[in-house]
Structure 1
Amino acid sequence: MHLTRFRLNTARVGARRLLSSPQMLHAAVMSSFAEIPAAAGDRARVLWRIDRTSRAETHLYLVSPAKPDLTHLVEQAGWPETGRWHTYDYQPFLSRLAAGEQWAFRLTANPVHHIRRTDDEPTKRTAHITPHHQLRWLLQRQEGAGFKVVEKPAEQRLVPNGDEHELIVYDRRQLAFKKAGHRGSVTLVTVTYDGRLEVTDPDALRRTLTHGLGKAKAYGCGLMTLAKA
């Protein structure tokens, strides 16, 4: 497994065009591989995420079974003379994960649920809109994903309900874009989570980090990364 980081040059039209369309960016990401890695069965898949920093920098993160070649992205959306990308061997880090460790994490996800208005109509996938339900969406999945979000000490909680965990949700985006072979536009709601977690099941967490969490993985959702807490 490999972890890659690439900084986009948002002053360029090519970068802004890619950032405006998850469909186009997905195609650009998959073009980074001579042979597209298969995602069938238990095989890890290509995951990607866009991060925007407080210094107005925009980075593309990739986790992939094969090592990517981002030359086309440097030429189209980077700095052709000086731009580079950085790829790291992810496996040593993954293999060292151990129960009880605490890490800061970031995840961009597509928090959805299935609803229906009447008993006789089929269920429909619908995005969670409020921060409360978006937070609950992640908390409901933490056990199966191999971690638990760290709880705050009681004296650090600012409100009686909804502030029990070291977890925030922000950067809500509603994206609408064309998809090949699809009539009309695809609408996607994404949010970003920052928080602190404790590893409870290293094998399950390794799977989360390499297979993603939630829906819309092809469109920049599901990639969780860890950093020192």
Structure 2
Amino acid sequence: MYLTRFRVNTARPGSRRLLSSPQAMHAAVMSSFPHLLPTGQNTPRILWRIDHNARAEVVLYILSPDQPDLTHLVEQAGWPAAAANATADTRLSGWQSYPYTPFLDHITTGSTWGFRLTANPVHHIRRKDGEPTKRTAHITPRHQMQWLLERQERSGFRILTKPAHQRLTQHGTDHDLVVHNRRDLRFAKPADTTKRTVSVLAVTFDGRLEVTDPAALRHTLTAGLGKAKAYGCGLMTLAPIG
């Protein structure tokens, strides 16, 4: 497994097109692997996520079984001249890929990490008796947080609680967890002749966790969490707690 980081040049027209269309970004990510056929048959799970850290700091992360070739992304949405002249400075090479398996192998029970996850928190409801259930997005941060808390045990982790002096009121949350960067994605699938609009609500979770089941957490990190993985949701990454 490899985790790849690509910084997007937000001043490029190609960047704006990719960032405004999860379908276009998905196609660009999948085109980074020469051995994958356009038919999508037997395609391995490839996760990706866009982090909007600041107005001019937008980063694409890709988790994949093989190393990607992001030359086309550098040309469309990066710094081609800097990449062409890059020598020892990997920050100028356009993208950086890191072996991920050694990191996964060192995840142990009881270790604590900071995490980030962009996900599509949904539930199934029935509006009227006798109707089939319908997948519906959680709208409020409270319900979005609850969606993640309900999945923590089987996903191999426990979200840590805040120290007593940092906890909110009885109507807030005691967990070390925030939800932000809500995005309502709406688009039509090119192959859908009905031209129906697809709606995906994506939010980003930041928090701290404790590992309870290393094998389950490794599966969560590599297979993704939740729905809409093709549209930039599901990828959780960990970072050491400073």
TM-score, normalising length: structure 1: 0.95
Aligned to 2:173, the other structure's residue is in SS state coil
Output aligned runs, 1:13-28, within 5 Å: 13-28=13-28
Equivalent residue letter for 1:188: V
Instruction: Indicate whether 1:219 and 2:225 are aligned.
Output: no
Partner of 1:64: 64
- In the TM superposition, residue 181 of structure 1 has moved relative to its aligned partner by 2.0
Gaps of 5+ in 1: none
Output aligned runs, 1:94-105, within 5 Å: 94-105=104-115
Instruction: Indicate whether 1:167 and 2:147 are aligned.
Output: no
Alpha-carbon distance between aligned partners in 1 of 2:16 and 2:28, rounded to the nearest angstrom: 13
Aligned to 2:18, the other structure's residue is in SS state helix
Alpha-carbon distance between aligned partners in 1 of 2:133 and 2:25, rounded to the nearest angstrom: 30
Q: Is the 8 A contact 2:10 2:56 kept in 1?
A: no
Q: Select which of 105, 108, 126 maps to 2:118.
A: 108
Q: Is the 8 A contact 1:212 1:222 kept in 2?
A: yes
Aligned to 2:54, the other structure's residue is in SS state coil
- In the TM superposition, residue 81 of structure 1 has moved relative to its aligned partner by 1.0
Aligned to 2:199, the other structure's residue is in SS state strand
**Residue-by-residue CA offset, 1:51-79 (whole Å, 9 max, x unaligned):** 01136300000000011000000001111
Alpha-carbon distance between aligned partners in 1 of 2:36 and 2:223, rounded to the nearest angstrom: 15
- In the TM superposition, residue 185 of structure 1 has moved relative to its aligned partner by 1.7
Aligned to 2:81, the other structure's residue is in SS state coil
- In the TM superposition, residue 161 of structure 1 has moved relative to its aligned partner by 3.1
- In the TM superposition, residue 154 of structure 1 has moved relative to its aligned partner by 2.2
Aligned to 1:145, the other structure's residue is in SS state coil
Output aligned runs, 1:132-151, within 5 Å: 132-151=142-161
Equivalent residue letter for 1:26: H
Q: Select which of 195, 200, 203 maps to 2:212.
A: 200
Alpha-carbon distance between aligned partners in 2 of 1:162 and 1:90, rounded to the nearest angstrom: 36
Aligned to 2:102, the other structure's residue is in SS state helix
Q: Is the 8 A contact 1:39 1:45 kept in 2?
A: no
**Residue-by-residue CA offset, 1:171-193 (whole Å, 9 max, x unaligned):** 11101112122222211100000
Q: Select which of 71, 92, 100 maps to 1:90.
A: 100
Alpha-carbon distance between aligned partners in 2 of 1:65 and 1:96, rounded to the nearest angstrom: 18
Partner of 1:209: 221
- In the TM superposition, residue 44 of structure 1 has moved relative to its aligned partner by 6.0
- In the TM superposition, residue 16 of structure 1 has moved relative to its aligned partner by 0.3
Gaps of 5+ in 2: 84-93
- In the TM superposition, residue 3 of structure 1 has moved relative to its aligned partner by 0.3
Partner of 2:75: 75
Equivalent residue letter for 2:7: R
Identity of aligned residues (%): 64
Q: Is the 8 A contact 1:113 1:125 kept in 2?
A: yes
Superposition RMSD in Å: 1.6
- In the TM superposition, residue 139 of structure 1 has moved relative to its aligned partner by 0.2
